[in-house]
Amino acid sequence: MGLLYLGTPLAWDDAKKYADHVRTHGITQFLHIWDRVKDKNGDELLWGDEIEYMVVSFDNEEKNAKLSLRQTEILAKLSAIVNDISSDHDNSIAVPTFHPEYGRYMLESTPGSPYTGYISDLLSVEKNMRYRRSLARKHLKPNEIPLTFTSFPRLGAPGQFTEPYHNPADAVSSHSLFLPEEITNPHARFPTLTANIRRRRGSKVAINLPIFFDEETPKPFIDPTIPWDRSIYSEDPEAKNGAALPDHIYLDAMGFGMGCCCLQLTFQACNVNDARRLYDGLIPIGPILLALTAASPVWRGYLADVDCRWNVIAGSVDDRTEEERGSKPLKHDRFVIPKSRYDSVDLYISEDWMNRPEYNDNPLPIDEGIYDRLRKHGLDDLLSKHIAHLFIRDPLVVFSETIDQDDETSSDHFENIQSTNWQTLRFKPPPPNSTIGWRVEFRSMEVQMTDFENAAFSVFVVLLSRAILSFNLNFYIPISKVDVNMARAQERDAAQSGKFYFRKDVFTNPSPYSSGSSSPVDGVPRPKEKKLRNCFPPVPAPLNGHHKGPVEDEYEEMTMDEIMNGKSDRFPGLLGLVEAYVDTLDVEAEDLAKIRSYLNLVRDRSNGTLLTAATWIRNFVRSHPAYAKNSVVSQEINYDLLVAVDEIERGARSASDLLPKDYTGGNKDQGSI
């Protein structure tokens, strides 16, 4: 998460003095990168995943599952183990790496080196994920388990939810009523980020999730676990003064959001134009896969009437002032900003003819001075707006040692703002003095309980990304409708009961799937490819011109089943598109069967044959013998839930409503590299 300097972070009153300095030099750094690599072309497909774990400590006598706050110790041990394994192998073996995250109970893991476009790499993802989990598990305490679980159900609930226990009264950076200071990674960046968001905003963050009303849930629901009368910090009365809403679960700290775990994927594109095409193509996919991977229905010990983490994280880092939120007239601030800096994408950026101006229909505040500077430097309108929109934000953490940088060799000021715009997609320029190319990061998915599921969704997105570029697919809908989809995706049971706006006709060519990679030559089918391509010709405009009817006629509401599995001849569904792309590849029968097992999981989740993780968790809680039908997820229920999650991952417990019947757990397959 962001840049981890060893240095002295400035408190907000000092840091804000350097906001213009960071923005000005950040743009200078970007322009140096742009001048060097704007024409960079021919990069091969390199991609990778990031998986986050929460380390849970199980007290079997007290029947309590708690978050282990040993991140620093665990990471030091894993780093030494990884170094030992690396020294015992030649350079052809890339050992996975582990990294710190915001929560002191969290671990982030990545493959030791990027995957390539070879089918063998695609099929190694699950083994690599399993290996990472096994490696971490072997070097934890016997009662500690690394779980890929999106949100800890009793984070901030009464009682002990961390090991060891710490008192929320000591939350000096967040001033939270519920979370202790020690929940946060001790690196100076993280408590400073937490405190500076609160100070810049002028209050604590305030997140309110609707309570799930069960048979015995009080109406109205006024949360009895909120310490309404605490008087330690100046913000303590905020809950009583309206920040905590009736009938809602109130969360008041960055840790509730940035303490969540997720699954993210990053792709290197052939060139900057392909990166922009891919970025745009995946924007409408973000909400769909958020709904399909929904995995977080429990917050602060209560069942919520939502299934996803997204709005929690958006609220947890919402540093906008009252003026920027539109609650007060602009006087001291420059912009009214419609969204948190963690939210959905606001702008399509490709210059292809498919991207009609009407699609960018959201309000888009930009820094006009930065926009003009970029345009004068030769950048096009859309990319200039993209950067100028990101740079309406202030840098939240400024280190005194890095205020003055060499703008030709550093991108730290640029990344300071770029990396704290946490959106569903991130468009990533190459680092300076690096062989890395233009990249796109896909960020909306919730992490799943098993490595099989995480691999399945990773493989699906990789293949879909190739189909978008190979078949010149057009997924554009107005970006305001993507925002509607993001809201709908988080609703309870959205994958089965919800509807989403999606484009009706996704093909840009007269015949489906015709492109440079698959169309026949003189009636002879092209040979199948042994590797996922990364470089594609520009999207050709139709020979007879592009008919532009009303944008409203281009999309309609569809169910998840229709979006994924098809609705008409002109829309075969995302899975149909992926399968058509797989048909262009030269894949051995055994490998094809494995790919199809991943696609079948996605298919079964989308048509309701298998439950989403969120629905499975909700059902587990509501069917637990100790559940009082009052929305409360007790210590005992939480313990049994997380024990069950671990047993399912290991294959010691069947979950035929969540996973395929032939699922093989971690006990039998611990992965390999």
Over residues 394-406, mean pLDDT = 96
Contacts of 146 (CB under 8 A, 6+ apart): 53, 54, 55, 56, 107, 133, 136, 137, 140
Which position has the token pair 């953490």?
397
The pLDDT assigned to 520 comes to 55
Residue type for 641, please?
L
| pLDDT of 513 higher than 60 | no
Over residues 339-353, mean pLDDT = 97
Q: Give the model confidence (pLDDT) of 457-507 as tens digits.
A: 999 999 999 999 999 999 999 999 999 999 999 999 999 999 999 999 999
Q: Give the model confidence (pLDDT) of 46-89 as tens digits.
A: 999 999 999 999 999 999 999 999 999 999 999 999 999 998 88
325 SS3 class: coil
CA–CA distance from 203 to each of 116, 207, 253 (Å)? 46, 12, 11
136 φ/ψ angles, rounded to the nearest 5 degrees: -65, -45
Q: What angle do CA 510, 516, 522 make, to 5 degrees?
A: 80
CATH code of 282's domain: 3.30.590.50
The pLDDT assigned to 521 comes to 52
Report how far residue 445's alpha carbon sits from residue 518's, in angstroms, rounded to the nearest whole number: 30
| pLDDT of 181 higher than 80 | yes
Average pLDDT of the chain to the nearest whole number:
95
Q: Give the model confidence (pLDDT) of 212-234 as tens digits.
A: 999 999 999 999 999 999 999 99
| pLDDT of 284 higher than 90 | yes
- Helices then strands, counting H and E runs in the chain, come out as 21, 17
> Does residue 568 fall inside a structural domain?
yes
Report how far residue 595's alpha carbon sits from residue 123's, in angstroms, rounded to the nearest whole number: 7
> Does residue 216 fall inside a structural domain?
no
> Does residue 308 fall inside a structural domain?
yes
| pLDDT of 295 higher than 80 | yes
Burial class of residue 651, CB neighbours in 10 A (0-12, 13-18, 19+): middle
3-state helix, strand, coil in the chain (%, to 5): 35, 15, 50
> Does residue 544 fall inside a structural domain?
no
Q: State percent of the chain over pLDDT 70.
A: 97
Q: For CA atoms 12, 13, 18, 23, give the dihedral sign.
A: positive
Element holding 576 (H helix, E strand): helix 573-582
Q: What angle do CA 604, 643, 264 make, to 5 degrees?
A: 50
Contact (Cβ atoms closer than 8 angstroms) between residue 634 and residue 626:
yes
Radius of gyration of the chain (CA): 24
| Full 3-state SS string of 253-276 | CHHHHHCCCEEEEEEECCCHHHHH
> Which domain covers residue 404, as residue numbers?
1-152+263-508+554-667
| Structure tokens, 646 | 């671990």
Residue 315 CA to its chain's centroid (Å): 15
The pLDDT assigned to 522 comes to 58
| pLDDT of 516 higher than 70 | no
The pLDDT assigned to 511 comes to 47
The pLDDT assigned to 91 comes to 80
Bridge-based pairing of strands 439-442 and 144-147 is unpaired
| pLDDT of 593 higher than 50 | yes
Report how far residue 474's alpha carbon sits from residue 14's, in angstroms, rounded to the nearest whole number: 47
> Does residue 633 fall inside a structural domain?
yes
Q: Give the model confidence (pLDDT) of 349-394 as tens digits.
A: 999 999 999 999 999 999 999 999 999 999 999 999 999 999 999 9
Q: 639 falls in which pLDDT band (50, 70, 90)? A: very high
| Structure tokens, 306 | 């939502």
Q: Give the model confidence (pLDDT) of 107-121 as tens digits.
A: 999 999 999 999 999
Please confirm whether the linkage preceding 510 is cis (ω < 30° from 0). Answer: no
**Residue 181 DSSP code:** G
Q: What angle do CA 630, 636, 640 make, to 5 degrees?
A: 110
Contacts of 374 (CB under 8 A, 6+ apart): 27, 31, 383, 384, 387, 388
Report how far residue 451's alpha carbon sits from residue 441's, in angstroms, rounded to the nearest whole number: 20
| Structure tokens, 658 | 């969540």
Cβ neighbours, 10 Å, residue 75: 17
> Does residue 449 fall inside a structural domain?
yes
Report how far residue 49's alpha carbon sits from residue 455's, in angstroms, rounded to the nearest whole number: 9
Nearest to 26 by CA among 455, 467, 411: 411
Report how far residue 613's alpha carbon sits from residue 479's, in angstroms, rounded to the nearest whole number: 28
Nearest to 494 by CA among 568, 451, 558: 558
Report how far residue 65's alpha carbon sits from residue 152's, in angstroms, rounded to the nearest whole number: 10
> Does residue 548 fall inside a structural domain?
no
| Full 3-state SS string of 352-413 | CCCCCHHHCCCCCCCCHHHHHHHHHCCCCHHHHHHHHHHCCCCCCCCEHHHCCCCCCCCCHH
> Does residue 473 fall inside a structural domain?
yes
How many domains, the chain? 1
Contact (Cβ atoms closer than 8 angstroms) between residue 64 and residue 635:
yes
Nearest to 383 by CA among 393, 367, 371: 371
